[in-house]
Amino acid sequence: MRSDSVLIPEEEMARQRDLALEVKALPHRPRSYFVVTYGCQMNAHDSEKIAGMLEEMGLLPAPRREEADFVIFNTCCIRENAERKALGNVAWLKEIKRQRPEMMIAVCGCMAQEPGMAERLLKQYRFVDLIFGTSNLYRLPELLLSRLNAGAPLVAVDDADTLPEGVPVRRLRHDAAYLTIMYGCNNFCSYCIVPYVRGRERSRREEDILREAEALAAAGVREIMLLGQNVNSYGLDSAGKPLFPSLLRRLDQVGIERIRFMTSHPKDLSNDLIAAMAESAHVLPQFHLPVQSGSDPILLRMNRHYTRSQYLDRVRKLRAAIPGIGLSTDMIVAFPGETEADFEETLSLVSEVRYDSAFTFVYSPRTGTKAASFPDQIPPEIAKDRITRLIALQEALQRETLSRFLNQEEELLVESVSRRSEEAVSGKGRHGISITLPGGAEDIGKILRCRIVKVKNNTLIGERIP
């Protein structure tokens, strides 16, 4: 039974902190950890919380998973291949654990929360020590302590819609940070498993978000990425009016240089949000607006609550208010019943919008979702043909779209030394597009100005401006 959304009381969070110290004092506790993360930014941030809690329990990061005393698989189940990959990697550790029986293994995240998955894991992956779902993440100190004292596999995957505050975080980056503003999703798009594994929408209190943003600013963080499955419906008030635009306006005052957010649902993209972005000094001119399909009958069966023309209208409004805005999207091909004509509608929408980037997926049936039982599932060879054509079109258009940046000035927050060359660094520009330019490790965390001199695939090549 799903219980109502709960803000976890401060006493319970304090109890978890005490339990963490109890684990730390245990002589037989694991000494090192390794978190393997799959999936989206939300999961990446959950892994930062897992690492934060484990470090409070005295564990140190291990360089490689095979060497760790405690390996945590933070899994994703959005598509079947994500799940297959995670299970394959869990299975791979079985042999290592045979050689090092003291090694502990946990499976957590969205896949662990899938109905029936915990039972399957217990049966087929007997060497797994601990299974916990997204709603029980904050209880890791308690769960690890119980597991260490019990000696038998432990499962905690109830689906309460928890809202914990004050979980310790070990951030992977010092210059940019994730900041969750809401959890869960109420939309039930017919293909999507997220509402089943992450529960109903619940928003953090504005003062908690602002306090966290202020602390990040004080720690020198230069960019925050606000996270939620549907940030646009953050803090729906009793009249159903979303509070995201006013949250953005307040965050804009905190003094963090760059503010981004993800993900938005087109049906909830209000004029007020567009106005808030346009007025703000720090919210970056970029928008990730998943369209999923360009065909009205498919959008209807996907339960998306907008039409192609409503979507295009929002794109027009965004571009009118924020000229040059960077636009990206998600699209699914071969949704059940998608005809060639439906698919061509998606192609024509892509030609019309001209996205700066697009994540394209082949529809993957997920047990328990509505679309999994729709008739007319599309054969894999048709799906493959469609995704190939969609990617080819997007790539061809992207070259043209990105050339609007040629000879323009941009600004990037340097994230890393480039994978291809030690004399180049890369990061995201203000419009959300990757930029590479000459530089070295000393530039990481700096905001650099540059002039774009070349477009290479989905990356802009820049020259530094002093």
Task: Kindly state the smallest distance separating residue 100's Cβ from ligand 5AD, in Å.
Answer: 36
Distances (CA, A) of 231 to 29, 68, 261, 358: 39, 36, 7, 19
Please report the beta strands in 150-257, taking only residues with DSSP state E, as ranges in sequence order. Answer: 154-156, 162-163, 176-180, 182-183, 202-203, 223-227
The structure tokens listed for 202 are 């619940």
One-letter amino acid of 117: M
The structure tokens listed for 39 are 């999936």
Is the Cβ of residue 17 or residue 267 nearer to ligand SF4 in the bound state?
A: 267
Task: Kindly state the smallest distance separating residue 332's Cβ from ligand 5AD, in Å.
Answer: 5
Q: Could you tell me how many helices (H) and strands (E) the chain has, helices first?
A: 14, 21
Binding segment toward ligand 5AD, per CB under 6 A, in 139-147, 344-352, 359-367, 397-405: 359-367
Is the Cβ of residue 97 or residue 370 nearer to ligand 5AD in the bound state?
A: 370
Binding segment toward ligand 5AD, per CB under 6 A, in 215-223, 227-235, 361-369, 426-434: 361-369
Task: Kindly state the smallest distance separating residue 333's Cβ from ligand 5AD, in Å.
Answer: 9
One-letter amino acid of 49: K
State how far the Cα of 206 lies from the Cα of 245, in Å rounded to an integer. Answer: 12
Residues binding ligand 5AD: number (CB under 6 A): 12
Among 79, 198, 308, 428, binds ligand 5AD (CB under 6 A): 79
Using CB distances below 5 to 8 A depending on partner kind, what does residue 314 bind out of ligand SF4, ligand 5AD, none?
none
The structure tokens listed for 429 are 């520009």
Task: Kindly state the smallest distance separating residue 265's Cβ from ligand SF4, in Å.
Answer: 5
Task: Kindly state the smallest distance separating residue 39's Cβ from ligand 5AD, in Å.
Answer: 9
Task: Kindly state the smallest distance separating residue 334's Cβ from ligand 5AD, in Å.
Answer: 9
Is the Cβ of residue 42 or residue 417 nearer to ligand SF4 in the bound state?
A: 42
Using CB distances below 5 to 8 A depending on partner kind, what does residue 366 bind out of ligand 5AD, ligand SF4, none?
ligand 5AD
Is the Cβ of residue 78 or residue 90 nearer to ligand 5AD in the bound state?
A: 78
The structure tokens listed for 382 are 């048709």
Cβ-contact 133, 108 below 8 angstroms = yes
Is the Cβ of residue 78 or residue 425 nearer to ligand SF4 in the bound state?
A: 78
Strand partners, 32: 60
Q: Is 332 in the site for ligand 5AD (CB under 6 A)?
A: yes
Q: Is 110 in the site for ligand 5AD (CB under 6 A)?
A: no
One-letter amino acid of 461: I
Angle at Cα 350 formed by Cα 348 and Cα 353, nearest 5°?
110
Among 208, 252, 330, 344, binds ligand 5AD (CB under 6 A): 330
Task: Kindly state the smallest distance separating residue 280's Cβ from ligand SF4, in Å.
Answer: 24
**Burial per residue of 103-117, b for 16 or more beta-carbon CB atoms within 10 angstroms, e otherwise:** bbbbbbbbbbbbeeb
Phi, psi of 329 (to 5 degrees): -150, 170
Among 230, 361, 415, 432, binds ligand 5AD (CB under 6 A): 361
Q: Which residue is closest to ligand 5AD by CB?
A: 330
Choose among 166, 196, 172: nearest CA to 56: 166
Q: What is the per-residue DSSP string for 242-283? A: --HHHHHHHHHTS--SEEEEE---GGG--HHHHHHHHH-SSB
The structure tokens listed for 57 are 């329990």
Using CB distances below 5 to 8 A depending on partner kind, what does residue 113 bind out of ligand 5AD, ligand SF4, none?
none
Distances (CA, A) of 239 to 10, 200, 209, 230, 236: 29, 18, 22, 18, 8
Is the Cβ of residue 15 or residue 267 nearer to ligand SF4 in the bound state?
A: 267
Among 33, 38, 183, 191, binds ligand 5AD (CB under 6 A): 191
Using CB distances below 5 to 8 A depending on partner kind, what does residue 413 bind out of ligand SF4, ligand 5AD, none?
none
Choose among 256, 248, 250: nearest CA to 278: 248
Q: Is 180 in the site for ligand 5AD (CB under 6 A)?
A: no
Applying CB under 6 A, which residues contact ligand SF4?
Answer: 185, 187-189, 192, 194-195, 229-230, 265
The CB density around residue 92, as the number of other CB atoms within 10 Å, is 11
Is the Cβ of residue 153 or residue 195 nearer to ligand SF4 in the bound state?
A: 195
Task: Kindly state the smallest distance separating residue 365's Cβ from ligand 5AD, in Å.
Answer: 7
Q: What secondary structure letter does DSSP report for 441? A: G
Q: Is 292 in the site for ligand 5AD (CB under 6 A)?
A: yes
Per CB under 6 A, residues contacting ligand 5AD are: 78-79, 191-192, 290, 292, 330, 332, 361, 363-364, 366
